[in-house]
Amino acid sequence: MSKTGILVVSFGTSYPDALAKNIRAIEEAVGSAFPGLEVRRAFTSGMIIKKLKKRDNVHVCTVREALESFLADGFTDLVVQPTHIINGIENDAMRDDLRSYRDRFHSVRVGDPLLTDRSDYRLLIDALAKSFSGLKDDEFLVFMGHGTEHHANAVYPALDYMLKAGGHENMYIGTVEGYPDLPLVKELVKKRAPRKVLLAPLMIVAGDHARNDMAGDGADSWKNEFLREGYEVSCLLKGLGEYEEVRKLFAEHAKKAAPL
């Protein structure tokens, strides 16, 4: 007799509010696409898993632990949906773990990360443009993405290009660890000389990067970098998981999940 389970895989967060507003909200949206099926959670960040265990005595499964738990409970088929933004290092590692268990289930189907094809890009751009439709001409919005050395980093400049092509000339995308980087974004913003810069994370959760690298009090935070340029600066600590359109897109990807 077949028994299907749903596994939602996230990088993770140690912030309870970010977990509830973003990761749990996405898990619930994915679960709503499969009424009656059990949804379980896995994190790919070993550091966050260890921190939660030490600080809160809360155990979150790794991908392999989650797969073992499904097997132990008699599940025969799985739908796995990552909450990753790009098809990068974390997503590759998740898929490697899944492949090693593929023969132990009747089927393992995997949904795409948030930004996989052009229709995903356009949906995200529309959602962001709608949310920030009140931007004035002298206000610029700068999104902080994570960035990576992985070739999937190409998503960020492509998304930025599509923003501009769509007429959103006062929205920019930068990354912490990839391209476009902060120095480039600062130069591009400087050419337009806005009065105010609004910073927002282009990440699933508003976690350490958003709270420290973006909005922190450190001298090298993005907030202080732009303040030193003479702009008025405000920060929005809102992860992508808080946008309804983003949650719906993850649910759609889960429904379209394909075999490994």
Residue-wise pLDDT for 91-116, tens only, equals 999 999 999 999 999 999 999 999 99
pTM of this prediction? 0.96
In sign, the C-alpha dihedral spanning 27, 28, 34, 35 is positive
For residue 24, what are the contacts with CB-CB under 8 A and spacing of at least 6?
A: none
144 lies in the same domain as 255:
no
Over the range 46-58, which residues count as b (16 or more CB within 10 Å of their CB) and which as e?
eebbeebeeeeee
71 lies in the same domain as 86:
yes
| Tokens 């999104």 belong to residue | 143
255 lies in the same domain as 213:
no
Q: Residues with catalytic annotation?
A: 146
Tally of structural domains, the chain: 2
Hey, which residues does 235 pair with through a beta bridge? 199
Structure tokens at 62: 């790794």
65 lies in the same domain as 164:
no
Are 142 and 174 in contact by the 8 Å Cβ rule? The answer is: yes
147 lies in the same domain as 191:
yes
Backbone angles phi, psi at 207, to 5 degrees: -105, -140
Residue-wise pLDDT for 144-192, tens only, equals 999 999 999 999 999 999 999 999 999 999 999 999 999 999 999 999 9
181 lies in the same domain as 83:
no
- Residue 6's SS3 state is strand
230 dihedral zone (left: phi>0; alpha: psi -120 to 50; beta): left
- Give the domain range for residue 135: 118-203+205-238
Alpha-carbon distance of 232 to 238, in angstroms, equals: 19
CA-wise closest residue to 152 among 115, 201, 109:
115
215 lies in the same domain as 248:
no
148 lies in the same domain as 233:
yes
231 lies in the same domain as 254:
no
134 lies in the same domain as 213:
yes
Domain with residue 88: its CATH number is 3.40.50.1400
Alpha-carbon distance of 156 to 162, in angstroms, equals: 10
- For residue 180, cis peptide bond before it (omega within 30 degrees of 0): yes
219 lies in the same domain as 248:
no
Alpha-carbon distance of 192 to 170, in angstroms, equals: 9
149 lies in the same domain as 223:
yes
What pLDDT shows up at residue 67? 98
Hey, which residues does 140 pair with through a beta bridge? 197
Alpha-carbon distance of 114 to 83, in angstroms, equals: 7
Residue-wise pLDDT for 201-233, tens only, equals 999 999 999 999 999 999 999 999 999 999 999
What pLDDT shows up at residue 94? 98
